[in-house]
Amino acid sequence: MLSCKEVTEHADEYLAQELPLSRRIGVGLHLMMCKHCRRYVKQLRWLIGAFGELPRQASDEEVSEVMSRVKGRKPPAA
Ligand SMILES: [Zn+2]
């Protein structure tokens, strides 16, 4: 079982479908059971949709900085 840290570290690759199958399954299983990571991945997916690809190896600080920059924007309907 992957930890939340591992899931969030690989979330951008997961969304870009760049992970090996075994890792994708591990992340998918974790997301089914962990609402915190589901929320993180949902936000990340929206960010990628809004800004194009995030920089490779984006740090938590960079991601949260982008998050706070877009905070005033309307969230996706979905
Ligand atoms: Zn988690």
Q: State pLDDT tens for residues 28-66.
A: 999 999 999 999 999 888 887 777 765 556 667 777 776
In a domain, 38, yes or no: yes
Q: Residues near 59 by Cβ (< 8 Å), separated by ≥ 6?
A: none
Token match 């479908």: residue? 17
The dihedral sign for the CA sequence 46, 48, 51, 57: positive
Could you tell me what percent of the chain has a pLDDT over 70? 74
Q: Which of the residue ranges 9-13, 52-56, 71-75 has the most confident prediction, judged by mean pLDDT?
A: 9-13
Q: What is the pLDDT of residue 72?
A: 59
In a domain, 78, yes or no: no
Domain residues for the domain of 14 are 4-69
Q: Which residue has the higher pLDDT, 71 or 24?
A: 24
Q: Which of 59, 78, 36, 34 is nearest to 67 (CA)?
A: 59
- pLDDT of residue 26 exceeding 70, the answer is yes
Q: How far is the CA of 54 from the centre of ligand 1 (A)?
A: 21
Q: How far is the CA of 12 from the centre of ligand 1 (A)?
A: 14
In a domain, 74, yes or no: no
In a domain, 77, yes or no: no
Pairwise CA distance, residues 27 & 3, whole Å: 9
Q: Which of 16, 6, 19, 18 is nearest to 44 (CA)?
A: 16
Number of domains in the chain: 1
Q: How far is the CA of 13 from the centre of ligand 1 (A)?
A: 16
- pLDDT of residue 23 exceeding 70, the answer is yes
In a domain, 76, yes or no: no
Tokens encoding 43 = 């936000």
